[in-house]
């Protein structure tokens, strides 16, 4: 028979609040706190160092920002192996999740004349074995594309 509006600012809230998302956020915070921020950072740094070492063993692979201080992300290209998305699709077929492309950095990619990179990201739940699988997958993709 009518509509009742809440007072501002809730008047403009669309639909039901994201209750499930709020519960999940609380669980995520509890998870992080149980492990500890420093432990997470140390693990991610160790993964990053290991990944960089394993990837640099691959001939004609170039890592961008190799010496930079960064979080658990490695961006690379396979020289002479076509575009980054080709390698990304092959890795995907092997069950290895990576990102490819410009990664929202088109201006700097244009400046350095980089057509795109493959980007692998590591987090607290990743393992050194997964990095070994990534390195082997990159080698296989490289053989297929060369």
Tell me how far apart the alpha carbons of residues 133 and 139 are, in angstroms, rounded to a whole number: 10
Tell me how far apart the alpha carbons of residues 124 and 120 are, in angstroms, rounded to a whole number: 14
Beta bridge partners of 64: 75
Q: Are 35 and 124 in contact (CB under 8 A)?
A: yes
What dihedral do alpha carbons 38, 32, 22, 120 form, nearest 10°?
Answer: 80
Q: Is 54 in the active site?
A: no
In 3D space, the residue among 32, 57, 37 whose CA is nearest the CA of residue 131 turns out to be 57
Beta bridge partners of 118: 76, 100
Catalytic residue among 37, 104, 107, 113: 104
**Which residues are tagged catalytic?**
104
């Amino acid at each position: 028979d009518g509509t009742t509006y809440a007072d501002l600012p809730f008047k403009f809230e669309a639909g039901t609040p994201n209750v499930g998302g709020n519960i999940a956020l609380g669980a995520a915070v509890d998870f992080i706190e149980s492990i500890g921020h420093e432990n997470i950072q140390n693990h991610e740094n160790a993964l990053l160092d290991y990944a960089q070492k394993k990837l640099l063993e691959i001939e004609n692979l170039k890592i961008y920002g190799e010496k930079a201080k960064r979080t658990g992300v490695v961006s690379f290209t396979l020289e002479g192996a076509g575009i980054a998305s080709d390698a990304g699709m092959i890795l995907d077929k092997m069950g290895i999740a990576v990102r490819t492309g410009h990664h929202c950095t088109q201006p700097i990619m244009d400046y350095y004349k980089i057509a795109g990179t493959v980007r692998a990201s590591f987090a607290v739940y990743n393992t050194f074995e997964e990095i070994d699988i990534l390195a082997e997958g990159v080698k296989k993709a490289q053989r297929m594309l060369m």
